[in-house]
Amino acid sequence: MSKYRNAASWVKGQSGNPGGRPKMPEELKKAMRGLAGDAIKVLQEAMQSDDMRARIMAASHVLDRGYGKPTQSVDLTAKTDMGAAHLDALKARMQSRRGDQAAAEVAAVSALVGEDETPTTH
């Protein structure tokens, strides 16, 4: 059995994780907040260090927590290289299907690869 669920198995509006992320216990939160003063002192000491890497890391942590991490832009341009044999097999499979739908799909694939081909159906 596949470890991935079929897309059709989810009902519209249904969450795949209805409970959400587990919450941190309040006692642990309080204990960590109680150590915040010491953590700030450690960061202050690290910012005075002779090691420039330690100073930069400490400064980065202080700024991230005080102002939030900077936004990052991501280039999601994807280029695919589908071999001619793969496209031919895909077109043959679509042509084997009956009806106008298959012809429309073959025409769409042909247009995608820049071919001027008249699709044939059985």
Q: Where are the domains of the chain?
A: 25-69, 84-113
Question: What tens digit of pLDDT does each residue of 61-70 get?
Answer: 999 988 888 8
Reading the chain (122 residues) residue by residue, the pLDDT tens digits are 455 556 557 777 777 788 888 888 999 999 999 999 999 999 999 999 999 999 999 999 999 988 888 888 887 776 666 677 777 777 777 777 655 666 677 777 777 766 555 545 54
Residue keyed to tokens 């071999």 = 83
Residue 82, CA distances (Å) to 21, 33, 39, 85 in order: 39, 54, 53, 8
∠ Cα 63 67 70 (to 5°)? 85
pTM: 0.42
Residue 35 structure tokens? 């150590």
Residues 91 and 103: their CA atoms lie apart, in Å, by 10
